[in-house]
Structure 1
Amino acid sequence: MKRVRKQACEEAASRIVSWMLKGQPGDWGMDIDSWDWNPGVGIIAILEYYECSQKPEVLSDLIKWTERNRHQSDKHKVINSMAPFTIYPRLYELTGNPYYLNKAIEIGDWMLKEAPKTREGAFEHTVTEPEAFSEQVWADTIFMAVLFLARLARVTANNKYGEEALVQLRLHFKLLQDEKTGVLFHGWDCGRSNHMSAARWGRANAWIALATPMILQDLRGMLNVPELLMERYLRLLRGLKTYQSDNGLWPVVVDRPDYRCEVSGSVGIACSFIKAANQGWVDAEYRAAANLTLEQLLDSIDDNGHVGGVSGGTPVLPSEEAYDAFEIRSTQYGQGLALFLLTEYLNS
């Protein structure tokens, strides 16, 4: 049975990657050839798939992607557009091309010295669109920018990048974690000292739940992880586990079982469960919970590799109800999060 499931995961992952790389030019959701967080999540996941599959054509596709799109990388220097750089440290290791390392160091130094921060010292969530979210902290930032810093720290063996990554993790947990339930709010307004709509949005929880073990893996042996940070992370996983629906998915707002379930946040959370189980941080119940999500995911992937049930790109919305009503669409980040779960299962 496990062999059959693994084969299904391998076939689904291959279809997903093909669909992602094909892209849909001009469609914000599926256009892979832009420099922003959406395709950034996609190519980070494709790199993860390459590490698992070792298919040379996948690595070649990633290198071609950077060659096609590197001219866009300086167009917007904002936190959300840091995501594509996350693959650069590893591409440097795989290719020896100094461009990847030099550019990564340039961007890492910009983040440390120039990227806007809130009064608490957290990265302000800046975006490529003509919108400003002054003094706002979003959960998304940990995956979109802080993961890059951890990978840069590992490749350069420079603690300054890793130390900032840990600072940002600590601050985001402090500002976003609901002390009562352990799960995370989508955002925090430092100026108004509130969580805005106070929605415990599923994908916000997935960004941090998934990125944290990846960040800590990169920093292993370099820096000591604060005990309080690990305590907060495990509280997050415990809280999320209590809100999983019987079908294996999570509602679009995790503590609202009356809302529809959403695939991208669910698979990101499930992937974090497997990563935590592989580290010995949680028991086998979490792996079993992730297996339920995996079955739902496999049913959500069509013959072309398109992942269904993914909500659109979501700023901090004005109400919980707005999250439930938000559009469903095909996206690179939805494909990518699904690919993360499939790849993690294949690695286990």
Structure 2
Amino acid sequence: MKLQTVANRVWKEMTGKHDNNWGMNIENWDWVPGVGVIALLEYYESSGDPEVLVFLTEWVARNKHKAEETRVINSIAPYAVFPALYRLTGDEWLKEEAVRIADWLLKEAPKTREQALEHTVTEKADFSEQVWADTIFMAVLFLARTAKLVENKSYAEEALKQVLIHLRLLNDKEHHVLFHGWNCNSGDHMSGARWTRANAWIAAGVPLIVKEIAPLIAIPDELGQRYGCLLAGLVSFQQKDGLWSTVMDQPGFYREISGSAGIAYGLQIAMEQGLVDASPVYESAAERALQAILPYISEAGVVDGVSGGTPVMDSVEAYNRIPVYPALYGQGLVLMLLAKAPGRKESQE
């Protein structure tokens, strides 16, 4: 089947009616629909499908009033589409809101003792002094995009600072991948899980962030070195079937599609943008992942094999018990991979 056809089915499923389904209901304002609209924007920029842009602009109009209900790191994710939508529509409110939220991130958002953005969520749960890999995609990407939109070096410098802090604190020095989280109070990685989707958030997020801030500030060699080591480490854990286990150093755990797609996407765009050198090893890893993911997409465009949303779990074993169900972040990461997959345009012919 042509990749364009598959991608079209995936995004159509994302925008369908899914009331009372937390994982698939895009009519909310939180990280789950946030990843969904970020992916839809990426797909629009790749495909030029005007129907996608219409959906995004109408989605913002329908849901923007919900943004004020709770301001936490996870609820920043949907704002990441505002800079591009402003450029496309000229709606000044989008730019003004982006600046207001960026100022909140700089001046008011809770930070840990290491000055990392503390990962806060809309659920009634407190993760004080915790640093999660998720934050890079959910909040720092937005900050970087707003930095470029208004040419604000302070925003860009903070985005770079957050990327480096997360890469340092979450680093697994033995395997060069990332742990899910870091607890500043106890000074450890809690369960010590090398969770695949945590790695995917950063593998996918860092190239997108660098693309935005590079015109404004210098990117230090440290970022490229750390990110390059991360990709090499991730490829070393890819299983023979082309996927990653939900905890990547546990090959007996179930394979996880959203994390696998995010890592493959990161490999692809990092090479495309020159953040890492193009490599047959990375090209093969991304292609193998894509081919392994395609059978998990149903005829209706539903992406299966997606691990449920989770905090940092109490043990490594607990990640293997997280239920699997379709969710917008799984749809979204797969859609982003499809949008950037080599041969996608040729497959349309």
The answer to whether the superposition gives a TM-score over 0.5 is yes
TM-score band (shorter)?
A: over 0.9
User: What is the CA-CA distance between 1:23 and the residue it aligns to?
Assistant: 3.7
Give the TM-score of the pair, scaled to structure 1.
0.97
For the residue of structure 2 that corresponds to 1:137, the secondary structure is strand
Aligned match of 2:138: 144
Written as runs of structure 1 = structure 2, the 5 A alignment for 1:1-348 is 8-280=2-274, 281-282=276-277, 283-345=279-341, 346=344
Q: Which amino acid aligns with 2:301?
A: G
For the residue of structure 1 that corresponds to 2:173, the secondary structure is coil
Gapped runs of 5+ residues in structure 2? Answer: none
Deviates more, 1:338-347 or 1:135-144: 338-347
Q: Which amino acid aligns with 1:306?
A: V
Q: Give me the identity figure in percent.
A: 49
Distance of 2:43 and 2:119 partners within structure 1 = 28
Distance of 1:268 and 1:57 partners within structure 2 = 25
Give the TM-score of the pair, scaled to structure 2.
0.96
Q: Which amino acid aligns with 1:73?
A: A
Q: Which runs of 4+ in 1 moved over 6 A?
A: none
For the residue of structure 2 that corresponds to 1:261, the secondary structure is coil
Q: Which amino acid aligns with 2:5?
A: E
For the residue of structure 2 that corresponds to 1:65, the secondary structure is helix
For the residue of structure 1 that corresponds to 2:172, the secondary structure is coil
User: What is the CA-CA distance between 1:279 and the residue it aligns to?
Assistant: 2.7
Q: Which amino acid aligns with 2:63?
A: N
User: What is the CA-CA distance between 1:209 and the residue it aligns to?
Assistant: 0.6
Q: Which amino acid aligns with 1:312?
A: G
Compute the RMSD of aligned alpha carbons: 1.0
For the residue of structure 2 that corresponds to 1:124, the secondary structure is coil
Q: Which amino acid aligns with 1:269?
A: I
Contact 2:4 2:345 in 1 (8 A): no
User: What is the CA-CA distance between 1:222 and the residue it aligns to?
Assistant: 1.3
Q: Which amino acid aligns with 2:318?
A: A
Q: Which amino acid aligns with 1:137?
A: V
Number of aligned residues:
342
User: What is the CA-CA distance between 1:347 and the residue it aligns to?
Assistant: 6.8
